[in-house]
Structure 1
Amino acid sequence: MLQKGCIQVYTGNGKGKTTAAVGQGVRAVGRGLKVYMVQFLKGNDTGELHSLKRLEPDFKVFRFERPRGFFWTLSEDEKIELKKDIDKGFEFCREVLKNRECDVLIIDEMMGVLSNKLLDVQEVVEFLKSKPENIEIILTGRNVPKEIADVADLITEMKDIKHYFNEGVPARKGIEF
């Protein structure tokens, strides 16, 4: 059990935000901590799901959404359905904190949820402020709102210096997903 939990944010336009959060979770499991990861805006199959399945019950991944396209490709009806799924997932996060079900709670793509206005930033700030002292929370995603930055204890920015996508290399199985 952690004595002092902090709020970490992995952000930026570069690759590696989810990977860093997963790596932190794997490190925590290695020291006997229990990790939950809630993934938002990710409904498709990814490599980390298969790897992390091997670490259950110490590292569990939760998704509340059905596979969909990118947010900007969704119809208004699909956006309404997505909002309901996000609300259900965020309510799950609240319950996890309230019941102290894990030592580390990773909320993947929270910044995407906020930038698409699927949750209210003030609601998330209040959630973060309600964090028990001994639970670590890790948030990922681009474009951290100032309100989230203000309550975070650590913010790490992933920044593209050079990226092979710009040379036409597509997303690769096992590397990007």
Structure 2
Amino acid sequence: MKEEKIIKRPDLEKGLIQVYTGSGKGKTTAALGLALRASGHGFKTFIVQFMKGNGYYGELFALQRLYPQIQIAQYGRNCPHDPMIRQGEMKCLGCMTCFVRKGEGTKQDLFMAQKALEKTKALLHSGEFDLVILDELSNAIYFELVSLEEALEVIEGKPDHVELVITGRNTPAEIIEKAHLVTEVNEVKHPYQIGVASRRGIEY
């Protein structure tokens, strides 16, 4: 019987801090693209999604095919219409029931944000992942689910061999100062301005 050759996972040369922020669409999409690129070189990625719990996002299904190279966990509110949207029987209505308003986070919202922070700390120091993406961390800070001090503690404790990516609007200046790469995605035009609603496979 032929033995399978074990391919050693490469070492990341140097782990930096990246930020994708701004009012435009595409921040999470950019981070997902980076995860895809990293997987092509044998690196492993874990994506922690703050304030997101909807099971109909297309990336959730796509990433199942790339497991265990890319793994993802959500820590946010779910949509009451999730099953029907996932099956394509209806579209996202933009009803905002799965979103948090500033200063109105519930105990459950705060609990999930803290769980996401705990997960992040464990991932960064596990030695298992080369790239850790904190999707919507900036928004979690803005919506007062995570304190700036807590976020900075995570960032400052990042091991040298791990690349850390933070996405979301309203990124605090203190985090931008810590980052090595900052990309601001600004909205110039968006289909919603002409009445085009979120589209399956494009916006979610």
Match of 2:50 in 1: 40
Indicate the structure with greater helix content: 1
Shift of 1:65: 3.2
Shift of 1:175: 0.3
Match of 1:118 in 2: 145
**Residue 66 of structure 2 is aligned to residue 55 of structure 1:** yes
| Counterpart contact for 1:3–1:133, Cα < 8 Å | no
Max Rg structure: 2
Match of 2:17 in 1: 7
For structure 1, the residue ranges without an aligned partner over 5 or more in a row are: none
Task: Give the length in aligned residue pairs.
Answer: 175
RMSD value, Cα: 1.5
TM-score, normalised via structure 2 length: 0.82
The residue type paired with residue 147 of structure 1 is E
Distance 2:52 2:119 in 1: 16
| Counterpart contact for 1:122–1:147, Cα < 8 Å | no
User: Which of the numbers 141, 159, 163 marks the counterpart of 2:168?
Assistant: 141
Distance 2:42 2:26 in 1: 24
For structure 2, the residue ranges without an aligned partner over 5 or more in a row are: 1-10, 80-97
What is the CA deviation profile of residues 3-54 of structure 1, one whole-angstrom value per residue up to 9, with x for unaligned ones? 2011001111111000000000000000000000011111112011111111
User: Which of the numbers 14, 20, 33 marks the counterpart of 1:23?
Assistant: 33
Q: Percent identity?
A: 41
Indicate the structure whose relative CO is greater, using CA pairs within 8 Å and at least 6 residues apart: 1
Shift of 1:98: 1.8
The structure 1 segments of at least 4 consecutive aligned residues displaced by more than 6 Å after TM superposition are none
**Residue 178 of structure 2 is aligned to residue 151 of structure 1:** yes
Shift of 1:73: 9.3
Distance 2:116 2:128 in 1: 15
